[in-house]
Structure 1
Amino acid sequence: MSDAEAALDVRHVSHSYGPRRALDDVSFTVPQGSFTALLGPNGAGKSTLYSLITRLFNVREGSISVLGHDLNRDPGEALRRLGIVFQARTLDLDLSIRQNLVYHAALHGIPRAEAKQRIGEILKGSDLIDRLGDKARNLSGGQLRRIEIVRAFMHRPRLILLDEPTVGLDIRSRADIVAEVRRLVKEEGVSVLWATHLIDEIDESDRVVVLHHGKVLAEGLVPEIVARESAGSIREAFSRLTGLAGRPVELEMAS
């Protein structure tokens, strides 16, 4: 798959913190229009990889391209095509939901009237459409996360990165958020890289990149990975690839 065909192309990327190797020769692609899950236990290197894709850290070993734009050679064009939802909450709790979204739009040069129209498009049919005047602090954790996802879509990016977006939420809120992102992917025609350690957030139709100890152990559609590992499910395939079966992390993933 060429750079031009991929929403995200990661090639031979490594990164170290002093003597510790956080990523080791990582390569994979996210095809345009796909929902790709970056699956790995805590400490696998997912957040480090996201920090490189968003240029919080410089890429010193290997290359990363977004829709053909290399992050080192053409960072402005690459980042302009990204929407990002970090693990930490980033909404201003003292502003209303509408103000948070309009402010983000302004940072991307979107006029206020166009921003309001865009908010209506994304939230069409959502129960949050009636909460736009509420201060962010009055929403639940799941509702706040859903607004952060809406914000990531405001400037019409072609690739959305979500770093453990459901951490700390209850099962119902997690399911709502996964469903919301899948709906927006279908309606907006964007690509998603969804980092998670929760196997139950993965659908049979998804592409999966298994990351463990900073290395890519498998990449492909769920049925392909399951078949290659002669497993009965993606959970079993993941356990075989990582050797984590029966350990506490597997219990966490099943929670």
Structure 2
Amino acid sequence: MQNVKSIDGVSLPAALEVSGLGHHFGRRQVLSDISFSIAPGIFTVLLGLNGAGKTTLFSLISHLYDTRQGTIRVFGHDISRAPGEALRRLGIVFQARTLDLDLSVYQNLSYHASLHGIGHKLALERISSLLAQVDMRERLTDKARSLSGGQMRRIEIVRALLHRPPLLLLDEPTVGLDIQSRAEIVATIRALVARDGISVFWATHLIDEVEDGDNVVVLDKGRVLAQGGVSDVVRSAGSDNIRRAFASLTGFTPSSPEGAGL
């Protein structure tokens, strides 16, 4: 297991460690020998075109699918052997919208808090604090259906953070949002990493959501093609920026239909 050193010198397990992971749908193999690790307090981008296997990988990490080949550990806890310990350290924002549109923002959030055993008073305190951080406190009593796509996404992020997980997974969180909403969501998550030291695993097919200081895992057709810091991935691909490195690694170009997201 890969370890990192904390500020006080204590050795800590990786926030997420995936080793030898594979997955099939019937006879079709969608993930093959996936291995990588994420250090605590890092913004890591899972970069891959549509159909690369990003959502399948997230479904395995979040235990929606059983892991039958390979291992997944969240802060040292095996998702198959100790799913409760692993999952309580995860916050998850799925690609599809998952708010109950007929409930208010508060009702959506308080219900989720109760599932994690958070008492009413503490839940209200956390909901109020987190909504203020994403500039949504004034929408507390509004029905979810009255929110814009970007506002719904911010509420889903708040919901994922209510139980204070040290690792946050986000599967294509900006899909379908306008440019301003996309920028606001990315900025919100990056602020969490900088302010609270949370670990983030952000799946996207959009190159412009990657910054130079990020860690990157490049996934294509169910295989990891490269991983490491952006500069390391760019250098190993013999390119001068992450856009060209990604195109070189995957064989797609911005002008091709498959590479439209580049």
DSSP 3-state at the match of 1:130: helix
Matches within 5 A, 1:1-255: 1-2=1-2, 4-245=12-253, 246-251=255-260, 253-254=261-262
Distance 1:40 1:105, change over 3 A: same
Unaligned runs of 5+ in 1: none
The CA deviation string for residues 24-73 of structure 1, in whole angstroms up to 9 with x for no partner, is 00000111001100000011011111111111111111100000000111
Q: How many residues align?
A: 253
Please give the alpha-carbon distance, in whole angstroms, between the structure 2 residues aligned to 1:147 and 1:187. 19
Provide the alpha-carbon RMSD of the alignment: 1.2
What TM-score do the two structures reach when normalised by structure 1? 0.96
2:35 is aligned with what amino acid? Answer: S
DSSP 3-state at the match of 2:194: helix
The CA deviation string for residues 216-239 of structure 1, in whole angstroms up to 9 with x for no partner, is 000001111111112121000000
Distance 1:167 1:244, change over 3 A: same
DSSP 3-state at the match of 1:124: helix
**Deviation at residue 125 of structure 1 after TM alignment:** 4.8
C-alpha contact 2:2 2:37 (8 A) present in aligned 1: no
Please give the alpha-carbon distance, in whole angstroms, between the structure 2 residues aligned to 1:118 and 1:186. 19
DSSP 3-state at the match of 2:136: helix
Sequence identity percentage: 58
Unaligned runs of 5+ in 2: 4-11
What TM-score do the two structures reach when normalised by structure 2? 0.93
Please give the alpha-carbon distance, in whole angstroms, between the structure 2 residues aligned to 1:222 and 1:249. 22
User: Stretches of 4+ moved more than 4 A in 1?
Assistant: none
Please give the alpha-carbon distance, in whole angstroms, between the structure 2 residues aligned to 1:171 and 1:125. 20
Please give the alpha-carbon distance, in whole angstroms, between the structure 2 residues aligned to 1:25 and 1:195. 19
